[in-house]
Amino acid sequence: MAVAAVPSSRRARSNPRRRADEIIEAAAQVFAERGFHGATTQDIADVLGIRQASLYYYFPSKEVALEHVCARGAEGFLEAAAVIAAGPESVTEKLRRLIIAHLSPLLDRPDFVRVFHNERKHLPLASRRRIGKTVRAYERVIEEVLKAGIRNGEFRADLDPRLVTFGILGMVKSVAGWFDKEAGAKIERIVEEFFRLLVEGIAAGGGGRRPTRQGG
Amino acid sequence: MAVAAVPSSRRARSNPRRRADEIIEAAAQVFAERGFHGATTQDIADVLGIRQASLYYYFPSKEVALEHVCARGAEGFLEAAAVIAAGPESVTEKLRRLIIAHLSPLLDRPDFVRVFHNERKHLPLASRRRIGKTVRAYERVIEEVLKAGIRNGEFRADLDPRLVTFGILGMVKSVAGWFDKEAGAKIERIVEEFFRLLVEGIAAGGGGRRPTRQGG
Amino acid sequence: MAVAAVPSSRRARSNPRRRADEIIEAAAQVFAERGFHGATTQDIADVLGIRQASLYYYFPSKEVALEHVCARGAEGFLEAAAVIAAGPESVTEKLRRLIIAHLSPLLDRPDFVRVFHNERKHLPLASRRRIGKTVRAYERVIEEVLKAGIRNGEFRADLDPRLVTFGILGMVKSVAGWFDKEAGAKIERIVEEFFRLLVEGIAAGGGGRRPTRQGG
Amino acid sequence: MAVAAVPSSRRARSNPRRRADEIIEAAAQVFAERGFHGATTQDIADVLGIRQASLYYYFPSKEVALEHVCARGAEGFLEAAAVIAAGPESVTEKLRRLIIAHLSPLLDRPDFVRVFHNERKHLPLASRRRIGKTVRAYERVIEEVLKAGIRNGEFRADLDPRLVTFGILGMVKSVAGWFDKEAGAKIERIVEEFFRLLVEGIAAGGGGRRPTRQGG
DNA sequence: CATGAATGAGCATTCATTCAT
DNA sequence: GATGAATGAATGCTCATTCAT
């Protein structure tokens, strides 16, 4: 699952496709670390050990590099979620799978996902709009799962599906910010923890206990 | 907590202290919108209707402006949380209050909070370290509340306090990203929804129910 | 003939209006010498003894500088020609005046005129179109004078007004290319020579003589 | 004089000499359209449908390409003019033939001629000097014809041969600038019109009428 | 207080050119 | 013959910052 770790390829025979991907990968890394506007094309070139001008053999502008990075960062999210939503499982199980699907990409392309989350606002208008539509479609998929759960009684009837969608995504998205630091924490543990937190809540023991304003 | 409603102040005789605050406020607005490196001092000057060079009468560098913005964005978080944590209420109620305390600043200085969250990584090393310590202290306060809840039986015994802390903060922090769009949604509704989500979970009926891998 | 228009200037500091004009003047000089694309902004700065970046305080792009230069290079041509065309003189005299009017600007702003002639094709589409209209209007003014001359019998009846217009303009325009080298040659001499060449032709004796294909 | 009708030659086995000529032809086209410094080697390659690097198989530098283009643009002018000047015809007829000789190359290699006229100033010093000598020799040939005409009484005695040479060349050269637009206008018409304009002048009817300053 | 003018440092981008294949 | 890959050297332009007034 880990990236094949293609050596920076000094030898004559590197696949050109691979080379272009390496460039974008370096861009992802640098954009993730310093932000789009905080990163220079020189930084990207330094990662690759090539001259700055050489970058432009592979992509025509820094902005286009960002588009590529964001595209790969967003890749598959909507499709995976749609497949899960269309499945036969209980909504509770679907929720678990959605969390897994949301977090998995962080394992093999964390920088891409981070850049997609944090730097997509710097995309040129056209691609920003396009990607915005995908994001909203993604949110809608989750919202629909929540609604289905409410309808079939698996989830609380008084849930605000939209707000809860944002809450779930916020919680899960935050993982991108600290996943490196906590690299030891297996992603499965995180998934399980968040899944139970979302389904059962924090409260201990017996059932329908309503937390009261004044508490115990 | 109420918005100070400082009129954009075109008057000649405004308190110099106030004027300096206006500058920082404009910086916060622009940094929030375009990011630190994506924003220019010209952008800030434009918001204020003054010349770019005039900014330097009030702060010595763009970086220092970011420090001011982040400082005000982080202001009070730790103290407020510490006060809540030290209070006599149940940990469940403390959790509710912590959420309120976390979200309130968004009401009167949303740009500052956003910049603090998203741009603090561009701070010079010294202040980044300082602010990092505060953040970790803040996280620890919450973690301790969770641990206390586990100890006294209010919270599930198998909770990972650190992971759940991150989850809660992630969920709550995400509000900063969409609060504008959902301006209609009263902050109280959001607090209530997230509070219940965290305490009770999403599942209907008895909280004790263990969600199973294969679900319904 | 030089533009006076010196409004109240400040102290030792030169009038900002003047300064901006100086920049454009340097640009004209450099564009005339090396062509638009052959000239660098550094070249312009060198002429002025300032740093290259300082140019951008006065104009936003090299292209805009070219627009200014061309604008001043084209300035007044159409108006002057229209005034002459509308005058009471004979068309023959009008022709003489048109030649004078065409050449005079070379005396006080030769570089501007040259750049207008040779580099206008490098203008951005919008201003190129605008200036193209002016040029065609200018040509039409001359063409109309020729037609009037044909109608009233001052000029040969079998003249092709359009072709002759181009011929006249071509002849007169060529002066821009060698005026420097021949600086000794007074402009009045050139005007007179070209005027007579155009009106009487080269042939000695009776103008009515038809040159024959086999000549002599 | 007829266009060689070189098919754009996609075939692999074209004569290498021919191929090199095609490269230069493409260069001429692009230099004519955008100017030497405004044209890129990529532009030239695009015209040919080959890669940019491939150009360097045929010529060692862009500057050398310009030398070739200018050389072909200037080719034959001096020789043709010298032959005409040495002929037995009347100077009037010689003038007509000189005009024809000057304009003919525009028919089969207009881009070369244009580049020679407009871009020769960007040639490296050595070839610029060489070509400058040819040009001056060419001008001298014409000047001598004029002088001969003055001496033998065919031309007006008060003509300034040098100035009139420039005037004639300017008028005739200008054709290069608008020949495309007026492609309908047969070159013969232009020659005839300019020839009569130069010999007889614009004025109608009876002979030695001196145009007066105040005219009709 | 504020600004006009200027600039140093840097940045994205271009482009002619090289060279191994 | 031709090209893919790469690069050195600009080039136009931006921007935070300075400073005399």
- A142-158: per-residue pLDDT in tens? 999 999 999 999 999 99
The closest alpha carbon to D155, from C207, C212, C202, belongs to C202
Test C156 with D203 for CB contact under 8 angstroms: yes
Q: Please say if the pLDDT value at position C14 is more than 60.
A: no
Chain E positions with an atom below 7 A of a protein C-beta are 1-21
Q: Please say if the pLDDT value at position A184 is more than 70.
A: no
Q: How far C114 CA lies from chain D's nearest CA (Å)? A: 12
**Higher-scoring residue by pLDDT: B63, A215:** B63
In percent, the amount of chain B with pLDDT more than 90 equals 74
Which residue type, as a one-letter code, is found at position A131? I
Which residue type, as a one-letter code, is found at position C116? F
- Could you read off the pLDDT of B139-175 as tens digits, one per residue? 999 999 999 999 999 999 999 999 999 999 999 989 9
Hey, what are A156's tokens? 């609380």
Q: Please say if the pLDDT value at position A208 is more than 70.
A: no
Test C171 with D171 for CB contact under 8 angstroms: yes
Residues B183-187 have a mean pLDDT of 70
Give the number of other CB atoms < 10 A from CB of residue D29: 21
In the structure, do chain B and chain A come into contact, i.e. share 3 or more CB pairs under 8 Å?
yes
Q: Which of B155, B197, B212, B214 to mutate to test the interface with A (most CBs of A within 10 A)?
A: B197
Helix, strand or coil for residue C155? Answer: strand
Cα distance between residue B138 and residue A140, in whole Å = 33
- Cβ proximity of D135 and C164 under 8 Å: no
Test D203 with C38 for CB contact under 8 angstroms: no
Q: Please say if the pLDDT value at position B206 is more than 70.
A: no
pLDDT, position A16:
60
Nucleotide nearest to A9 (CA to C1'): F5
Chain F positions with an atom below 7 A of a protein C-beta are 1-19, 21
In percent, the amount of chain A with pLDDT more than 70 equals 84
Q: Which of B43, B202, B210 to mutate to test the interface with A (most CBs of A within 10 A)?
A: B202
pLDDT, position A207:
46
Q: Which chains share 3+ C-beta pairs under 8 angstroms with D?
A: C
- Could you read off the pLDDT of A80-124 as tens digits, one per residue? 999 999 999 999 999 999 999 999 999 889 999 999 999 999 999
C119: β partners: none
Cα distance between residue B196 and residue B192, in whole Å = 6
Of A164, A172, A193, Cβ closest to residue B160? A193
State CA D74 to chain mean position distance.
7
- Chain B residues in contact with A153 (beta carbon < 8 A): 204
- Cβ proximity of B57 and B43 under 8 Å: no
Hey, what are B103's tokens? 């979200």
Nucleotide nearest to D13 (CA to C1'): F1
B12 CA – E1 C1', rounded, Å: 10
Q: Which of B95, B171, B175, B188 to mutate to test the interface with A (most CBs of A within 10 A)?
A: B171
**pLDDT band at C23, cuts 50/70/90?**
very high
C59 CA – E7 C1', rounded, Å: 16
Test B202 with A95 for CB contact under 8 angstroms: yes
State CA C128 to chain mean position distance.
16
Cα distance between residue A204 and residue A110, in whole Å = 34
- pLDDT averaged over chain B? 86
Residues C110-126 have a mean pLDDT of 96
pLDDT, position C144:
97
Strand F CB-contacts below 7 Å: A 16, 19, 50-54, 56-58; B 39-42, 52-53, 55-56, 60-63; C 11, 39-42, 52-53, 56, 60-63; D 12, 16, 19, 50-54, 56-57
pLDDT, position D183:
64
- Chain B residues in contact with A191 (beta carbon < 8 A): none
B47 CA – E3 C1', rounded, Å: 17
Q: Would the CA dihedral through D161, D163, D164, D169 be positive or negative? A: positive
Nucleotide nearest to B52 (CA to C1'): E3
The closest alpha carbon to C134, from C191, C84, C70, belongs to C70
Please name the residue of chain C whose CA is at the shortest distance from the CA of residue D170.
C171
Of A35, A155, A213, Cβ closest to residue B204? A155
Tell me the CA end-to-end span of chain B in Å, nearest whole number.
46
Residue ranges of chain D with pLDDT lower than 50?
1-13, 206-216
- Chain A residues in contact with B198 (beta carbon < 8 A): 197, 201-202
Cα distance between residue C97 and residue C144, in whole Å = 15
A203: β partners: B155
Q: Please say if the pLDDT value at position B51 is more than 80.
A: yes
Hey, what are C152's tokens? 């009233």
Q: Long-range contacts for C118-122 (Cβ within 8 Å, ≥24 apart)?
A: C118/C32, C118/C35, C118/D118, C119/C31, C119/C35, C119/C36, C119/C66, C119/C69, C119/C70, C120/C70, C121/D35, C122/C36, C122/C37, C122/C66, C122/D35, C122/D38
CA distance readout (Å), A105 to A18, A116, A181, A192, B95? 20, 12, 17, 17, 31
**Higher-scoring residue by pLDDT: B16, A115:** A115
C56 CA – E16 C1', rounded, Å: 27
Q: Which of A200, A210, A212, A213 to mutate to test the interface with B (most CBs of B within 10 A)?
A: A200
DSSP state of B203: B
Q: Which helix (H) or strand (E) holds C86?
A: helix C77-86
Give the number of other CB atoms < 10 A from CB of residue D39: 22
In percent, the amount of chain C with pLDDT more than 90 equals 75
Cα distance between residue D29 and residue D16, in whole Å = 20
One DSSP character per residue, A22-88 reads HHHHHHHHHHHHH-TTT--HHHHHHHHTS-GGGGGGT-S-HHHHHHHHHHHHHTTHHHHHHHHHTSS
Of A169, A178, A205, Cβ closest to residue B166? A178
The closest alpha carbon to D65, from D17, D116, D28, D119, belongs to D28
Nucleotide nearest to C20 (CA to C1'): E5
Residues B27-54 have a mean pLDDT of 96
Q: Please say if the pLDDT value at position B89 is more than 70.
A: yes
- pLDDT averaged over chain A? 87
Number of helices followed by number of strands (H, E) in chain B: 11, 0
Of B189, B199, B203, Cβ closest to residue A202? B199
Tell me the CA end-to-end span of chain D in Å, nearest whole number.
47
- Please tell me the total number of residues recorded for chain C in this structure: 216
- Cβ proximity of B193 and A167 under 8 Å: yes
Of D153, D173, D201, Cβ closest to residue C200? D201
- Could you read off the pLDDT of C151-196 as tens digits, one per residue? 999 999 999 999 999 999 999 989 988 877 666 568 888 999 999 9
pLDDT, position A157:
92
Hey, what are A135's tokens? 């994001």
Test D199 with C201 for CB contact under 8 angstroms: yes
Please name the residue of chain B whose CA is at the shortest distance from the CA of residue A213.
B93
**pLDDT band at B211, cuts 50/70/90?**
very low
pLDDT, position A179:
76
Nucleotide nearest to C53 (CA to C1'): E7
